[in-house]
């Protein structure tokens, strides 16, 4: 529609009718081609303008399209009225009762979108995910659902901006997607910080009171009688005390019961905020007089790194979530035994705070097809996948012939590995196809072209990344090849989606597709969903549909019964291509402790840079011969994984000199948001 | 309905029809009389059981009544479909566009509920507010609206529990009211902490970069040209630089533009969490290597103490909110000039984060009448009143003959004084009546009875407070008398509502009403809304209606043009009964600074204990002869008030040994919340 216009689409897909009035006011700045040639001669140019040209119109596109009412969408996809909770006009939470109603419905096909090792700009996995479902549903008449992560407000107001996709492959309204949504991350923050406050307060009270005084306060006389609460009885049972009458406990039993005896130096539970606040990376707490000198060093993490976020993403029911919340280990006691949220008596309160967050949020794409937005762990410092529950519900809703497309963060070595080994283990679901997203720009970088430096919002980019350079592309395809091989380790067919930019030459595009197929991809397809919406991803959709009917021999990468270090080594060697791993003394002692505590048979969630297959962000392509350094090992017992830190990984991003918020504004008259992209 | 049963109420009120199916399953434990006499002989008893008996059934009562769908309620009260945004089945945000549509509609009567100096248990202002609107609407057929504050999650999971009212005078569903509601407090937390992160990050970047480097990053080349953003142009204008082309600034102008030159020791902007986390009362931030040694001492406040909360409560429009957010002073620069959120370039982002929070949330009482829940500043450390916008919208919705009942926190000396001098100044609204809530229990305490100690969830209470003791009551009425006199300073008629407990004797009730009337109250009425709902507050409603037709000579207590210290002295002497005030040297220098900076003509928001008219919580009744110590003076320029701290006031509550969360649980099968009261 180069001249603009109004098109009404009425699509009958899989027996359900998706209607959408698609208003194309004008083609908004599809590429960055205008004015660019003049700049090619400069070796290194400031291209923050490029970002603008590529992304600035996303919100205009988003706004030019009126989303249909979410209750209409819910009806179209077969939800009953009492299965949704509407939040405004364009968002709704979906109740888990649906899973019970549809339990006999066969699942649809399950597609994972992963990527090559990305540039700091990202290579467009979200747009591919959206473009693919738009193509499947609106153009091939196949029911489909996209499942995305909720973005953290940290990067949205910091460096990265929003994460609703882009161009004509977006979730709308993008400002709803990128702001508070339905409050899930805020609920996680509240629950996480309640637990953190409970830990320090408990240490204070134990330090300043006798056993008797603690007991009188923890088990007060109520209506003349004294009784344990349910959570206290459970603690007594864990302590091996079978008594139920508080008056009959011996002094020794009372002491055991009232004292968690937390060793402050072992506290692994950190406070969180959903803000890029670098000054909270290392802090000292407890410096007010009222805390009686119990100071200790602590830190805040970004909220999406909370174990509660991981639990939200991995849980399968309210009961399961509550159990996981209770099992979270926050510290060790002075004897080296784990202390849990349940020991602190806070399990029920955490579950209450999370009772709505567990319901996935329904939104829609620009072409009116359904999207679930649910959970948002980062893929480098967490497991990087949206929720099991959203995928499960979507798989029921699309029906046997439908498709659910879910996205794993960063490169296949990061998000996809964790998808298979952690998320699929939690869900029991078997993926049908992996879509591996690549861009010519990133491949050139892997082939030896200059790095895209995203620091301080100044992007230095070399003309090599824009002008045709077949040699760089060919060289860089080693990374694509390696990521295809990683996918094949799991026995799932892989389709390469080349996310085409206007600056890519046809020869470059052909070359990438050729190499991808030679490297074992089931197919490799150029995509133009960014500029053309679902229509630009029809070939991809056809390839994915075909691949989904292939023989599938899905398998996990490692056996859970292997020792922790052995599992780490398998990932390092088979996935990252490391020669070996090397554990610091702290890491080794943590491995020993977790093994002794009975947590040795959990899967592994590596915290590693996403900018290289190795631990060194500057090493592009396919690094070899490196020894992967494991600096520390933590455990997320409630989420259910062991969490090794590779090198130095920050769990709290910072704000640059000119954060995104400089461009974000609200028109107080029209109530429109500006500058959120 | 002592035997239980089902009653269907169809009420025609003010031309609008409120329908409600009232299901009374059983009369739930209305009093604590059973078993009590036996305990009277003990001088001092553990009565946490009393709390249980009095409050434990609130959630059962709440749950026994199915709320009507919020869209039905919205229609009943005259809202158009596009004026509400539904959040689940029982909550909706109301759009501000309504104010434009109804701008020619005359306002209803405006009633404030205040109280005597309370015990730590509270004397039931929320239940009186709810009981009164239930009586007005459902029993007297007068349109009415209750406007309440949103409770902080800190006290809900800490000591106090929820704040939805109680017994048969509640907002339902109480768990929605007491948990995340529609996310407003979370939005405040996000906005507050984004600004906090921006301050420290800016100091870091200014400390580690040259003027040129800062300028290149703050004003990058975009598409080959360099331009200032709108917020940067505004800053230039404030600096007296009229240039608009970045290339033309002199080195000196560049330096002025890029350097906010914040003096870290003057930062008054604190981070917040909505959690009782005492270990964050005093902390050191910036201790990670990446922050280059820029450590400083800081603190977290409870989220409801944020200036952004005060702004939400006082703002009158989106435009006004945005301006207030920009004006917030966060620190001084090294020359002693104020640095604002606008200087940091974050105004637009803050407004975007708050764009939904500005819309009041509609809920309902147990009898199906409408309630706005909006904003929740504490009354001791903040200004303690719900939002101006909710009141304004409600006053339009009830119509000329209707009533809006809004509540001010703690005693009349605290919440009501701020209601008149701060909130009414911001809104321009004139209140018709003050309802002053008292309890026999609290009056006995003021008369010399023992204090109710709420520490550590162990309530020691003397039988004097339960057994009839007319002398104690008579003596304690001095506090009631004083609070009536305070109300009269503002020229508004006052009706005393005696919130009756089963343990109060008829003679005690009569005595209080008699003394109240002798002390100048327009009327004094015993209320039984807790046990009987609106029916129990019909006499109160009749008295309020009558009082609202009285002559009203409303006036503010002080002239804004007076010097800051003079305004503080007027409040201290006329309201608190102090002999004089005494400012610490810090307080005096702050007063001098704010006066010099041009902020001297703002109203005063005293941060003072709510447990006494004086600054000493243990001094009950009507203390006299005291000198009020002002330890510090702060300014909330965006909210629009000067904020003196009286003695030591903590802005972050703590968790006791046995926090409320021990009793809070979620049934994973029924999804019901337990123990939230």
Which secondary structure element, helix H or strand E, spans residue B55, and what is its range? Answer: helix B48-55
Residue labelled with tokens 């707490």: A285
- A contact test, residue of B44, B657, B668 with most A CBs within 10 A: B657
For B105-164, what is each residue's pLDDT tens digit? 999 999 999 999 988 777 899 999 999 999 999 899 999 999 999 999 998 898 877 778
What is d(CA B225, CA B233) in angstroms, rounded to the nearest whole number? 16
Catalytic residue among B90, B119, B127, B275: B127
Chain A, chain B: beta-carbon pairs less than 8 Å apart: 323
* Residue B554 in tokens: 């409303």
Catalytic residue among B93, B95, B109, B160: B160
Instruction: Tell me whether residue B269 is one of the annotated catalytic residues.
Output: no
Taking each helix axis as running N to C, give the angle between helix A251-258 and helix A211-218, from 0 to 180 degrees, rounded to the nearest 10: 70
Instruction: Tell me whether residue B379 is one of the annotated catalytic residues.
Output: yes
Residue labelled with tokens 């910036």: B286
What are the E-state strand segments in A14-164? 16-24, 44-46, 84-87, 91-94, 109-115, 144-148
Give the alpha-carbon dihedral of B81, B87, B90, B94, to 10 degrees. -50
SS3 content of chain B, % helix, strand, coil (to 5): 40, 20, 40
User: What is the model's pLDDT at position B2?
Assistant: 31
What is d(CA B632, CA B114) in angstroms, rounded to the nearest whole number? 27
Nearest CA in chain A to B277: A197
Which residues pair with residue A332 across a beta bridge? A338
Nearest CA in chain A to B323: A668
B43 CB burial (10 A radius; 0-12, 13-18, 19+)? exposed
- Quick check: A24 pLDDT over 80? no
Question: Could B650 and A353 be called an inter-chain contact, meaning their C-beta atoms sit closer than 8 Å?
Answer: no
What is d(CA A136, CA A133) in angstroms, rounded to the nearest whole number? 5
What does DSSP assign to residue B65?
A: S
Cβ–Cβ under 8 Å, residues A133 and A365: yes
Cβ–Cβ under 8 Å, residues B402 and B109: yes
For A416-458, what is each residue's pLDDT tens digit? 999 999 999 999 999 999 999 999 999 999 998 876 554 333 3
DSSP labels, A183-227: SHHHHHHHHHHHHHHHHHHHHHHHHHS-HHHHHHHHS-EETTEE-
What is d(CA A37, CA A501) in angstroms, rounded to the nearest whole number? 15
Contacts of B610 (CB under 8 A, 6+ apart): B117, B118, B379, B380, B409, B410, B411, B414
What is d(CA B603, CA B609) in angstroms, rounded to the nearest whole number? 19
User: What is the model's pLDDT at position B399?
Assistant: 96
By C-alpha distance, which of B41, B1, B42 is closest to B23?
B1
What is d(CA B326, CA B340) in angstroms, rounded to the nearest whole number? 7
CA distances from A59 to A2, A167, A200, B346 (A): 19, 9, 44, 20
Mean pLDDT computed over every residue of chain A: 88
Pairing of strands B433-438, B169-172: unpaired
What is d(CA A142, CA A111) in angstroms, rounded to the nearest whole number? 14
What is d(CA A585, CA A579) in angstroms, rounded to the nearest whole number? 20
Give the alpha-carbon dihedral of A300, A303, A305, A311, to 10 degrees. 130
- A contact test, residue of B35, B67, B223, B293 with most A CBs within 10 A: B223
- B contact test, residue of A223, A286, A362 with most B CBs within 10 A: A223
ipTM comes to 0.90
* Preceding amide of B173 cis, omega within 30: yes
Stated pTM of the model: 0.91
Kindly list the residues from chain A whose CB atom is less than 8 angstroms away from the CB atom of residue B86.
86-88
- What is the 3-class SS of B544-558, one letter each residue? HHHHHCCCCCCCCCC
User: What is the model's pLDDT at position B648?
Assistant: 87
User: What is the model's pLDDT at position B19?
Assistant: 34
CA distances from A453 to A44, A445, B214, B376, B580 (A): 11, 11, 17, 44, 62
- Considering only CA atoms, give the Rg of chain B: 26
% of chain A exceeding 70 in pLDDT: 89
How many Å lie between the alpha carbon of A494 and the closest alpha carbon of chain B? Answer: 38
- How does residue A465 score in pLDDT terms, banded at 50, 70 and 90? low
* Preceding amide of A304 cis, omega within 30: no
Instruction: Tell me whether residue B160 is one of the annotated catalytic residues.
Output: yes
Cβ–Cβ under 8 Å, residues A436 and A115: yes
What is d(CA A261, CA B70) in angstroms, rounded to the nearest whole number? 48
Residue numbers in chain B where pLDDT is lower than 50? 1-56, 454-460, 462
Question: Could A175 and B222 be called an inter-chain contact, meaning their C-beta atoms sit closer than 8 Å?
Answer: no
Active-site residue numbers of A? 125, 127, 149, 160, 379, 410, 501, 530
- Considering only CA atoms, give the Rg of chain A: 26
For B302-321, what is each residue's pLDDT tens digit? 999 999 999 999 999 999 99
Cβ–Cβ under 8 Å, residues B137 and B402: no
What is d(CA B546, CA B526) in angstroms, rounded to the nearest whole number? 16
What is d(CA A332, CA A351) in angstroms, rounded to the nearest whole number? 23
What is d(CA A116, CA A114) in angstroms, rounded to the nearest whole number? 7
- Comparing CB atoms, the residue among A46, A223, A283 nearest residue B221 is A46
Residue labelled with tokens 């039931």: B124
- Comparing CB atoms, the residue among B86, B221, B663 nearest residue A229 is B663
Nearest CA in chain B to A33: B223
- Quick check: A45 pLDDT over 50? no
- Comparing CB atoms, the residue among B275, B355, B669 nearest residue A666 is B355
- Comparing CB atoms, the residue among A197, A275, A282 nearest residue B193 is A275
* Residue A665 in tokens: 């504004």
> What SS3 state is found at A65?
coil
Question: Could A664 and B49 be called an inter-chain contact, meaning their C-beta atoms sit closer than 8 Å?
Answer: no
| Best mean pLDDT range from A57-61, A408-412, B116-120, B458-462 | A408-412
SS3 content of chain A, % helix, strand, coil (to 5): 40, 20, 40
- A contact test, residue of B197, B277, B304 with most A CBs within 10 A: B197
Contacts of B458 (CB under 8 A, 6+ apart): A216, A217, A220, B46, B48
Which residues pair with residue A581 across a beta bridge? A628
B95 CB burial (10 A radius; 0-12, 13-18, 19+)? buried
- Comparing CB atoms, the residue among B39, B284, B321 nearest residue A287 is B284
Nearest CA in chain A to B54: A223
Question: Could B278 and A287 be called an inter-chain contact, meaning their C-beta atoms sit closer than 8 Å?
Answer: no
Give the alpha-carbon dihedral of A535, A536, A538, A544, to 10 degrees. -140
- B contact test, residue of A289, A318, A349, A672 with most B CBs within 10 A: A349
- Quick check: A39 pLDDT over 50? no
Kindly list the residues from chain B whose CB atom is less than 8 angstroms away from the CB atom of residue A324.
none
How many Å lie between the alpha carbon of A36 and the closest alpha carbon of chain B? Answer: 9
Question: Could B273 and A351 be called an inter-chain contact, meaning their C-beta atoms sit closer than 8 Å?
Answer: no
Question: Could B277 and A197 be called an inter-chain contact, meaning their C-beta atoms sit closer than 8 Å?
Answer: yes
How many Å lie between the alpha carbon of A139 and the closest alpha carbon of chain B? Answer: 32
Question: Could A352 and B175 be called an inter-chain contact, meaning their C-beta atoms sit closer than 8 Å?
Answer: yes
By C-alpha distance, which of B227, B281, B540, B272 is closest to B405?
B540
How many Å lie between the alpha carbon of A4 and the closest alpha carbon of chain B? Answer: 26
Question: Could B189 and A186 be called an inter-chain contact, meaning their C-beta atoms sit closer than 8 Å?
Answer: yes
> What SS3 state is found at B528?
coil
Which secondary structure element, helix H or strand E, spans residue A629, and what is its range? Answer: strand A627-636
User: What is the model's pLDDT at position A463?
Assistant: 56
Taking each helix axis as running N to C, give the angle between helix B318-327 and helix B307-314, from 0 to 180 degrees, rounded to the nearest 10: 150
Cβ–Cβ under 8 Å, residues A161 and A659: no
* Residue B87 in tokens: 């959040």
* Residue B103 in tokens: 């701008």
What are the phi and psi torsion angles at B586 (to 5°)?
A: -60, -45
- CA distance from start to end of chain A: 23
Contacts of A252 (CB under 8 A, 6+ apart): none
What is d(CA A274, CA A191) in angstroms, rounded to the nearest whole number? 13
Kindly list the residues from chain B whose CB atom is less than 8 angstroms away from the CB atom of residue A657.
205, 209, 214, 217-218
Kindly list the residues from chain B whose CB atom is less than 8 angstroms away from the CB atom of residue A175.
352
> What SS3 state is found at B524?
strand
Question: Could A277 and B196 be called an inter-chain contact, meaning their C-beta atoms sit closer than 8 Å?
Answer: yes
What is d(CA A162, CA A158) in angstroms, rounded to the nearest whole number? 10
């Amino acid at each position: 529609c180069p001249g603009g216009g109004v098109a009404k689409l009425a699509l009958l897909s899989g027996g359900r009718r998706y209607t959408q009035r698609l208003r194309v006011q004008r083609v908004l700045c599809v590429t960055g081609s205008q004015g660019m040639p003049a700049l090619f001669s400069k070796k290194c140019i400031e291209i923050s303008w490029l970002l603008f040209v590529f992304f600035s119109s996303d919100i205009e596109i988003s706004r030019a399209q009126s989303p249909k009412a979410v209750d209409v969408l819910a009806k179209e996809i077969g939800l009953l009225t009492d299965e949704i909770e509407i939040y405004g006009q364009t968002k709704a939470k979906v109740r888990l009762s649906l899973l019970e109603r549809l339990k006999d419905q066969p699942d649809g096909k399950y597609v994972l979108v992963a990527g090559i090792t990305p540039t700091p700009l990202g290579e467009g996995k979200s747009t591919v995910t959206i473009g693919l479902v738009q193509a499947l549903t609106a153009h091939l008449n196949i029911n489909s659902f996209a499942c995305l992560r909720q973005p953290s407000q940290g990067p949205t107001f910091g460096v990265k901006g929003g994460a609703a996709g882009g161009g004509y492959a977006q979730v709308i309204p993008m400002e709803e997607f990128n702001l508070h949504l339905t409050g899930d991350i805020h609920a996680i923050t509240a629950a996480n910080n309640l637990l953190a406050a409970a830990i320090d307060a408990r240490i204070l009270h134990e330090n300043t009171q006798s056993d008797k005084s603690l007991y009188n306060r923890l088990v007060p006389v109520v209506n003349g009688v004294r009784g344990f609460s349910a959570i206290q009885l459970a603690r007594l049972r864990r302590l091996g005390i079978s008594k139920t009458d508080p008056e009959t406990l011996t002094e020794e039993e009372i002491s055991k019961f009232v004292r968690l005896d937390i060793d402050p130096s072992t506290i692994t539970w950190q406070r969180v905020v959903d803000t890029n606040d670098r000054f909270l990376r290392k802090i000292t707490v407890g410096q007010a007089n009222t805390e009686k000198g119990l100071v200790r060093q602590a830190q805040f993490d970004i909220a999406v790194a909370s174990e509660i976020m991981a639990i939200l993403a991995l849980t399968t029911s309210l009961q399961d979530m509550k159990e996981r919340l209770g099992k979270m280990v926050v510290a060790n006691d002075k004897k080296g035994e784990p202390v849990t949220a349940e020991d602190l008596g806070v399990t029920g309160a955490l579950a209450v705070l999370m009772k709505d967050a567990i319901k996935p949020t329904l939104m829609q794409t620009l072409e009116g097809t359904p999207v679930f937005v649910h959970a948002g762990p980062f893929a480098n410092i967490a497991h990087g996948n949206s929720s099991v529950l959203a995928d499960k519900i979507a798989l029921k809703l699309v029906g046997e012939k439908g498709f659910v497309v879910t996205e794993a963060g960063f490169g296949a070595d990061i998000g996809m590995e964790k998808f298979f080994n952690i998320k699929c283990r939690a869900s029991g679901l078997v993926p049908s196809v992996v879509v591996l997203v690549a861009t010519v720009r990133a491949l050139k970088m892997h082939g030896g072209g200059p790095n895209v430096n995203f620091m301080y919002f100044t992007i230095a980019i070399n003309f090599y990344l824009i002008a045709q350079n077949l040699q760089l592309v060919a060289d860089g395809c080693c990374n694509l090849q390696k990521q295809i091989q990683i996918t094949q380790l799991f026995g799932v067919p892989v389709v390469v989606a080349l996310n085409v930019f206007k600056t890519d030459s046809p020869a470059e595009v052909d070359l990438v597709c050729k190499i991808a197929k030679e490297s074992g991809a089931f197919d490799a397809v150029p995509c133009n969903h960014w500029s053309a919406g679902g229509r630009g991803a029809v070939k991809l959709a056809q390839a994915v549909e075909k691949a989904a009917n292939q023989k599938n021999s899905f398998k996990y990468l490692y056996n859970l019964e292997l020792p922790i270090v052995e599992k780490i080594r398998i990932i390092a060697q088979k996935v990252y291509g490391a020669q070996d791993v090397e554990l610091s003394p702290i890491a080794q002692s943590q491995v020993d402790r977790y093994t002794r505590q009975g947590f040795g048979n959990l899967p592994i969630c590596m915290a590693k840079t996403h900018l290289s297959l190795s631990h060194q962000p500057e090493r592009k392509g396919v690094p070899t011969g490196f020894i992967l350094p494991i600096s520390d090992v933590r455990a997320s017992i409630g989420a259910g994984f062991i969490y090794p830190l590779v090198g130095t990984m920050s769990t709290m991003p910072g704000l640059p000199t000119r954060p995104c918020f400089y461009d974000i504004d609200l028109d107080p008259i029209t109530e429109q948001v500006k500058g959120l992209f």
